[in-house]
Structure 1
Amino acid sequence: MPRFDLGGCELYFEERGRGRPVVFLHGVWMSGRFFRRQLPYFSASYRTIALDLRAHGRSTEVPSGHTIATYARDLRVFLERLELEGAVLVGWSMGCMVIWDYVKQFGDGRLAAAVLIEQSPSDFRWPDWPLGAFDLPALAEAMARLQTDRDAFARDFISLMFKRPPGDADRQWIFDEITRVQESIAGSILFNQTLQDYRPLLGRLTVPSLVVVGRDEKLVPVAAGEYLARRLPDARLLVFEESGHCPFLEEPDRFNEEVHRFIQSLS
């Protein structure tokens, strides 16, 4: 199994194909396995990588470093050591935040483009931002449930991720991936990611961006995607009518074709 040594922490990743690097970054508590319908397709044209962030998926279960800023620093080391220049970063949910924090810390000079899937620039409902997923009571409740009833919390979260309920087999592997992450780690990164606010930093992502949202709004409102498309310097919005939080699983053929077309449009 390919692993990347950060020193005290190994990141698991899957890599296929040759050409321009396309790096998939998963959401909170998830893993690169969620992109299993993308790796075979994109590897026909690109050097395609699905990375498990620290303590997620099959990466080392380290107890520390569970902030978006640290995940972004991990990504920087990964890109540099694998010499991934001109990369297209494909972030889903929290993976978008990792991209934004990477650009905040290091700029976008190594990147060719970004694909931003189903993520608001902030998950917190600030006084001037009503589009977040959590206010303080909702965040406190989620943190408590993660510690006291994580399995039920995970099952409820899966139901929110899709426009139409997944089948039993899909529901089980998704549950297995989510519950790989220890409760203490799951709570730490949920709290940290929820209180991020990347609205003031969007102008720093100057490379072309493709913003992808699902029409079903159980987790992320379409208005958040519209906001990103307006505020990012070079962005366009795609709305997937038959999807919720996982367009790449719910409408994989269209997703793959649209993202491939976007990458091919890069100069």
Structure 2
Amino acid sequence: MNKPAERFAFTTSDGVTLRYLQAGSGPTLLILHGWSQGAALFKHQLAGLSDHLQVIALDMRGHGLSDKPSHGYRIARLAKDLQELITVLRPYPLYLLGHSAGASVIWSYLEMFGDSQVSKLVFIDEPAALLADPGWSEKQCLDAGAIITPDGLYQFTNQLIGPDAERTTRNILESMVTPVMSPQERDELLAINLQFPRTLAARLFIDNVTRDWRDFIPRIQKPTMITFGRASPHPVECQQWIHKQILGSRLEIIEASDGGSHFLFLEAARRFNALLRDFLG
């Protein structure tokens, strides 16, 4: 039987203590959660894959049980945090998995620090550019995954820091799961999201949404698997576009009836873990 995940911590170069869950031994699968989420959501991967992998799930700054400083809520700083953790752990071989904004953090890491420390990459449902330029065609928006307008961006973040912050958070989460997710799982998802203070969450949301990775993604050369759930609010075209840009990449789509949502690693954990086992070998 796999041992329960243990919690560890390290301190970044700017004095922030970040905590992470670790289980198993062997090649390292390092997981980065999405915006306003946390390491605890990867419980099925920590338990289900640690028989042959060292699985590490990081609470990025501000999230989960990590410190919540007043600074550093930019994708680039989160990428620097990742680089410092990799330097401390020195894992080899290293597989990086990014869910949603966690994929953006990995793209930033690869752009700034290169891919020499990484063997394989897994991305879950992150568009290349979330913010729609009013001058883009419908196809450009679909390929980029640009589902947010400039007005919509600030309308959402203003709601996020307002008196209905919890309801706003719940509403966006409800749009990302399938109807079969249990009330208990939905409550857990919300509770973990609310561990990230809403004012800080709004700041990071703006930074992530305004990134455009379309010039960088074609430069990715490591073996890559892209996974997508049909119940995601993002268009499938944006994941197909990424798949076409990364030479030799693999695209796996999980249908909504099988738990294929933005949180497919929760709702379709067995299927997703099987895909990971096959891809990572």
TM-score for the superposition, normalised by structure 1: 0.95
CA contact (8 A) 1:22 1:89 kept: yes
1:255 counterpart letter in structure 2: F
% identical aligned pairs: 25
CA contact (8 A) 2:82 2:109 kept: yes
Residue 116 (1) aligns with residue 123 (2): yes
Residue 141 (1) aligns with residue 155 (2): yes
Residue of structure 1 aligned with 2:231, choices 216, 234, 249:
216
The residue aligned with 1:45 is 52
Say which SS state the counterpart of residue 225 (structure 2) adopts. Answer: strand
Residue of structure 2 aligned with 1:132, choices 128, 143, 146:
146
Q: CA deviation at 1:256?
A: 0.2
The residue aligned with 1:193 is 208
Say which SS state the counterpart of residue 103 (structure 1) adopts. Answer: helix
The residue aligned with 1:74 is 81
Residue 164 (1) aligns with residue 182 (2): no
Deviations 1:127-180 (A, max 9, x none): 443131211111011111011121111110121111225222111111111111
Residue of structure 1 aligned with 2:244, choices 226, 230, 242:
230
Say which SS state the counterpart of residue 57 (structure 2) adopts. Answer: strand
Say which SS state the counterpart of residue 111 (structure 1) adopts. Answer: coil
CA contact (8 A) 1:30 1:57 kept: yes
Say which SS state the counterpart of residue 2 (structure 1) adopts. Answer: strand
Residue of structure 1 aligned with 2:168, choices 132, 135, 153:
153
1:195 counterpart letter in structure 2: T
Deviations 1:78-114 (A, max 9, x none): 0011112331111100000011000110111110111
Q: CA deviation at 1:244?
A: 1.6
Residue 64 (1) aligns with residue 79 (2): no
The residue aligned with 1:93 is 100
Say which SS state the counterpart of residue 59 (structure 1) adopts. Answer: coil
Tell me how large the CA RMSD over aligned residues is.
1.1
CA contact (8 A) 1:79 1:85 kept: no
TM-score for the superposition, normalised by structure 2: 0.91
Structure 1 window deviating more from structure 2 (201-210 vs 92-101): it is: 201-210
Deviations 1:166-224 (A, max 9, x none): 2221111111111111122011100000000001001232101100001124x211111
CA contact (8 A) 2:76 2:108 kept: yes
CA contact (8 A) 2:176 2:231 kept: no
Residue of structure 1 aligned with 2:272, choices 252, 255, 262:
255
Residue of structure 2 aligned with 1:246, choices 258, 263, 267:
263
The residue aligned with 1:5 is 11
User: How many residue pairs align between the two structures?
Assistant: 263
Counterpart mapping for 1:10-21 below 5 A: 10-21=17-28
Say which SS state the counterpart of residue 48 (structure 1) adopts. Answer: strand
Say which SS state the counterpart of residue 200 (structure 1) adopts. Answer: coil
The unaligned stretches of length 5 or more in structure 1 are none
